A and B are shown apart, each in its own frame.
Chain A
Amino acid sequence: MIENRPVTTFVSHAVIILGICIVALPIYITIVAASHDGVRVTQVPLPLLPGDQFFVNLRSAFVEGVGNAREQSVGTMLVNSLVMALMIAVGKIAISLLSAFAIVYFRFPFRMGFFWMIFITLMLPVEVRILPTFEVVANLGMLNNYWGLSVPLIASATATFMFRQVFLTVPDELLEAARIDGAGPMRFFKDILVPMSRTNIAALFVILFIYGWNQYLWPLLVTTDKSMYTIVMGIKQMLEAAEESPEWHLIMMSTLLAMVPPVVVVVTMQKLFVKGLTETEK
C-alpha cells in the first residue's frame, strides 16, 4: 500500500469481485441446472436459485448414464479419466527424471543428439500430427486400452528441461561425497537426487495431472469402445445426443463432475500449482 486512497481501494475490490462473478457465472449456472429436474431445466427461463434435485441427478448420472453414452455410467468415465491422468503424470515424471539424470550426470556419445531429439517433442503438439500418430497406435494394437490413451502422450520435453535445470543446481560436492561413500549412480539418483527434487516433482505432478485429465482429441481418436470413454470426451457424446433429447440437467451434472477433480487439485495445491506453472513454462 503506497498511499491511502479509500475510493481507489474500494473500486479495486469492486472490480475484482465483479470479475470473479463473471468468471464464476458459467459454474453457477451449471450448478443451478444440475440441481433441477429435467422438465424444469427445459422451461425458459432457467431458475435463478439451485433446486433440490442435485442428489437425484447425481444418482441417475452414476447409475443410468447419460445420452449416447447411456450404457456407460459417468462413474466408469471418471475412473477412465483418473487412470489416464495418473498414467500420463507418473509416466512423464518417471521418464523425464531418468533422461535428465543421464544428460546431466553422464558423458556419452550422442548425448546432445538425444537432447535435441527430446527437444523436438516440445514443438509437435498432438493436434498437428494426429493422423500418422493414430496409424502408429493402431498398428501397435493399442486402441481402446489405457496404454494407447496414455503412452503416446508421455514423452515430455518440458519436464526433462525442468529436471535438468533442477539437477544443475545440485552441488557437485554431493556427488563426490556419495562416491566416496561408495554409492553407484542409481543409488545416488534414488537417495539424493529424487528426494532433493521432491517439491519440483509435486509441482509438476499437479500440472501434468490437469493436462492428462483434460485430454480431449487423443481419447476421442483411440477409443471407440464405450467402456473406455473418458469423462471429457463423454460430455461431447452427451452434447451430440442433446440435440434430439435434451437432458441438460444430467449433462450439466456430468460437466460438474468432470471439473471437480482438476479444480480441487488446483485449489488445494495452489502453491505447488503456481510453482509448477511458472517453472515449466519459462
Chain B
Amino acid sequence: MLKRVHFGPSPLPYLLVAPQIIITVVFFIWPASQALFQSMLLEDAFGLSSEFVWFDNFITLFDDRYYLEAFQRTLFFSFMVAFLSMACALVLAAMAERVVRGALAYRTLLIWPYAVAPAVAGALWMFMFDPTLGIVAYALDGLGYEWNHRLNGNEAMALLIMAAAWKQISYNFLFFLAAMHAIPRSLIEAAAIDGAGPARRFWTIIFPLISPTTFFLLVINVVYAFFETFGIVHAVTKGGPAKATEILVYKVYNDGFIGLDLGGSAAQSVILMAIVIGLTVIQFRFVEKKVEY
C-alpha cells in the first residue's frame, strides 16, 4: 500500500487528494446519502410536506406488481444479453485463436462496436427493424413474419437484447482471446498428440482453463445490462409498449423524473446501489481467486 521510502509529514498530501475527495463527496457520497434519506420519506401529493416513514417505501415497492415485474424482466434481460454476447464472442475467439493469417485484421474488424454509444447502437438496430422501412423487418415480412416492435412487447424486448448484446461482443471477444492466448501451448500440444481433435481440446482443455475469465465477464456483462443499457431502452422503446421493456434503471428514471415519485424512486435507487455493491464484491472476491484443478 505505502512505499517503504516516502515523503515526510506535510500538508501537501491533503492538497493532492483534495480535488478527488471534494468531487467524490459533492457528487457521489452526498447524493447517495440523500437518496438513502429520501427513500424513507413520504411526500404529500403537492410536495409541500414530507413525513419520515422508515421502510414503508420499500415495503410498498415490494408489494408493487409493476416493480416485481420490472425486476424479473431485468433479470431475464441481463441473462439474455450476457449469454448471447458471450456465446458469440466465445465462438469468434475460439476461431480467431486457431487462425494464423489475418488474426490482427480480424481483431480490428471485431473490436470497434465497443466504441459505439448504447443509444447510438439502439438507433442503428431500430432502423434495421423499423416496421415500415427496416430492411430486416422487410426480410421477415418476406418470410411471412410480421415484425412490429412498437406493438409487440416480446419483439421490443428481443430488439433491445440484440442491440445490447451486439455492442458487448467486442469486449467479451478481447477478453476471451487474451485468456486463450495465456494457455500454455504445451497443454494443447500434449492433448493433440494424445489424439484429441480441435473440438475435444476446446471442451476439455481450453474451456475449463478460461473459466475465471468467463466468470469475470459474466459479472461485467450483468452489470452492463443492468445499468449501461439505459441509453438503448430510452432511445428505442422508452420502456414500452405497455411497460414490456421497462427495466430497473429505466424505472428509476421514469418514476423519479417523469412520475415525480421521489420517495419511491429513491428507494429503487437504494436497491440498485445494493445490487451494484453486491456485484462488485462478487467480482473482487472471485476474480482474485484462480480456479484450481
Contact = CB atoms under 8 A, between A and B. Distances in A.
B102 A13 contact: yes
B240 to A, nearest CB: 12
A262 B170 CA distance: 14
Interface in B268-292: 269, 272-273, 276-277, 280, 287
A251 B123 contact: yes
B24 interface: yes
B124 A255 contact: yes
B178 interface: yes
A106 B174 contact: no
A175 B98 contact: no
Contact of B23 (A30, A155, A216): A155
A205 interface: no
A248 B114 CA distance: 24
B41 to A, nearest CB: 12
Interface string A205-243: 000001001111100110000000000110110010000
A192 interface: no
B88 A270 contact: no
Nearest to B217: A281
A121 interface: yes
B184 interface: no
Contact of A99 (B16, B108, B185): B16
A39 interface: no
Contact of A118 (B2, B20, B108, B109): B20
Interface stretch (B63-71, B72-80, B127-135): B127-135
A105 B7 contact: yes
A128 to B, nearest CB: 4
B58 interface: no
Interface string B107-136: 111111111111111011111101011110
Interface stretch (A40-48, A57-65, A196-204): A40-48
Interface string B60-104: 000000000000000000000000000010011001101110100
- Secondary structure at the B interface, as helix, strand, loop or mixed, is helix
A64 to B, nearest CB: 19
Given A15-B95, A30-B124, A33-B127, A152 B109 contact: no
A29 B2 CA distance: 54
Nearest to A252: B127
B189 A2 contact: yes
Interface string B20-58: 110111111111101100100000000000000000000
Given A15-B95, A106-B6, A235-B235, A120 B24 contact: yes
Contacts of A259: 115-117, 120
A166 interface: no
A160 B252 CA distance: 29
A45 B136 CA distance: 10
A120 B198 contact: no
B123 A239 contact: yes
A127 B38 contact: no
Nearest to B96: A16
B117 A130 contact: no
Given A16-B99, A129-B32, A108 B108 contact: no
B4 A172 contact: yes
Contact of A262 (B107, B116, B236, B253): B116
Interface string B237-276: 0000000000001001100110000100110010011001
Given A125-B276, A259-B120, A1 B108 contact: no
How big is the B interface, by class?
A: 35 or more
Contacts of A98: 16-17, 19-20
A190 interface: no
A216 B230 contact: yes
Contacts of B192: 2-3
A135 interface: yes
Given A13-B102, A123-B276, A20 B230 contact: no
A185 interface: yes
Contacts of A131: 35, 38, 256-257, 262, 265-266, 269
A266 B140 CA distance: 34
B23 A108 contact: no
Nearest to B9: A108
Interface string A119-141: 01111110111111101110000
Contacts of B24: 117-118, 120-121, 155
Nearest to B277: A123
Interface in A160-201: 160, 167-168, 172, 175-176, 185-186
Contact of B92 (A19, A33, A41, A274): A19
B13 A102 contact: yes
Contacts of A282: 216, 287
A67 B9 CA distance: 59
10 contacts: A2-B188, A19-B92, A94-B19, A120-B24, A122-B280, A155-B20, A155-B24, A160-B20, A235-B119, A273-B111
Given A155-B24, A235-B123, 7 more contacts: A15-B95, A16-B92, A23-B110, A46-B133, A117-B29, A175-B3, A175-B6
Which 6 A-B residue pairings sit nearest by Cβ, starting from the closest?
A132-B31, A214-B117, A262-B115, A102-B16, A106-B13, A132-B34
